[in-house]
Amino acid sequence: MVDPRRWHLDPAVTFLNHGSFGARTRDLLARQRTWQDRIEQQPIEHLGRRVREYLAPSREAVASFLGADPSGLGFVTNATEGVNAALRSVAFRRGDRVVTTTHVYHAVRQTLRRLAVESGIEVVEVPVELPIADADSIVAAIAPWLVAPTRLLLIDHVTSPTAVRMPVERLVPIARRARIETLVDGAHAPGMIEVDLASLDADHYAANLHKWVGAPLGTAILWTHPRVRSRVHPNVTSHFYGEGFTTEFDWQGTRDVSGWIVAVDALKDLGRLGWDQVRAHNHALATWAHAMLVERWGSTPMTPLDGSLLGSIASIELPSAVARRFERVDQLQASLLAEHGIEIPCIEWGGRRFVRISAMVYNRPAQYEKLASAIESMAG
């Protein structure tokens, strides 16, 4: 769809892992460097006096992109940081329960583990078994847990190891009716699927812009609903504690804010292609590649082949001959890169081994066919 040379990626690598850290266009990186140079010329003026003025256009643009009210949107460095800040805002009592799923991102699982130790809460990872037939089965697995003493539902919008698009728009209202606080981990969502925070009505939404929006590394947001906003603060307490949500988030100590400043440019950059078109293209490519790989490898699809539970990533179970050849999945990942020049995450989850493909506008169908052949050649 788009010339891959617009991105700063190494053309020698077949890059099928946009999902982990995103990738940036050369234009955007140049724009960020211009801002870094400007700030370095007069740090006091640009960082000290004008930082809030510089962040405002990005906040407005990102808020509008996510259907959110800008006064509840704070910049953070990554989704994990946003999740940590949201969790810290809840005055948990011993015996409170936090519900998530077995698909939760491991860094977030560790955050909950720490919270359990420090606050005496119970964390329940509801099993959502693979393969998943439809959204109804996900709701049916989680809904029974949305009762007392559950205090908070932490649900991924798109799961990391298994690449499942969770029906958050159905789960959040169930939790809300039961007076359970909701934290949606949208690490993958902005730019991958449509996000409308006003209609979602979650209490907290943490998300990365450095993945599918293509913003500079370290660019992410935490959005918080007005009903809980006054008790949410950045993880770093700084000068403006208690002076309002965006005032606090705009200054979290001295840091390089150039990525946050150019988030608006990242939105415009891919936005020139039309965000609906970008999302539709990537979803169609991921859905096609998922079905093609499942067929070539004779794998059981973990989600429906029509792509109804996918965004623009998909996890495909490896043929058992390949899955068994390596003691650990990182050895397979290293071998795919060293021997075939393919960068793709290899994942172990629930006793199964997967590759997780990403589909971005710079990817081509032939790259997934190359992956299919590479894995087939390893089976022999």
Rounded least distance, CB 43 to ligand PLP, Å:
27
Task: Quote the CA–CA distance of 338 and 331 in Å, as a whole number.
Answer: 10
Closer Cβ to ligand PLP, 168 or 264, answer by number:
168
Task: Quote the CA–CA distance of 169 and 139 in Å, as a whole number.
Answer: 10
Binding test (CB under 6 A) with ligand PLP, winner from 15, 54, 92, 105: 105
Closer Cβ to ligand PLP, 297 or 349, answer by number:
349
Q: Is 187 in the site for ligand PLP (CB under 6 A)?
A: yes
Amino acid symbol at 236: V
**Span 150-169, contacts to ligand PLP by CB under 6 A:** 156, 160
**Span 341-380, contacts to ligand PLP by CB under 6 A:** none
In this structure, the chain runs to a length of: 380
**Span 22-81, contacts to ligand PLP by CB under 6 A:** 78-80
Task: Quote the CA–CA distance of 222 and 89 in Å, as a whole number.
Answer: 12
Closer Cβ to ligand PLP, 217 or 372, answer by number:
217
Residues in binding contact with ligand PLP, number by CB under 6 A: 13
Closer Cβ to ligand PLP, 106 or 177, answer by number:
106
Rounded least distance, CB 107 to ligand PLP, Å:
6
Token look-up 């506008």 returns 361
Closer Cβ to ligand PLP, 14 or 80, answer by number:
80
**Span 197-226, contacts to ligand PLP by CB under 6 A:** 208, 220
Q: Is 108 in the site for ligand PLP (CB under 6 A)?
A: yes
Task: Quote the CA–CA distance of 220 and 205 in Å, as a whole number.
Answer: 11
Here the tokens at position 21 are 């850290």
Among residues 143, 199, 208, 200, the alpha carbon closest in space to that of 175 is found at: 143
Task: Quote the CA–CA distance of 371 and 38 in Å, as a whole number.
Answer: 43
Contacting range for ligand PLP; rule: CB under 6 A; set: 132-140, 166-174, 184-192, 301-309: 184-192
Cα dihedral 284→287→292→293 (10° resolution):
130
Let me know if 338 is exposed, middle or buried by CB neighbors in 10 A (0-12, 13-18, 19+). exposed
Q: Is the peptide bond before 304 cis (omega within 30 degrees of 0)?
A: no
Q: Is 111 in the site for ligand PLP (CB under 6 A)?
A: no
* Chain residues in the site for ligand PLP (CB under 6 A): 78-80, 105, 107-108, 156, 160, 185, 187-188, 208, 220
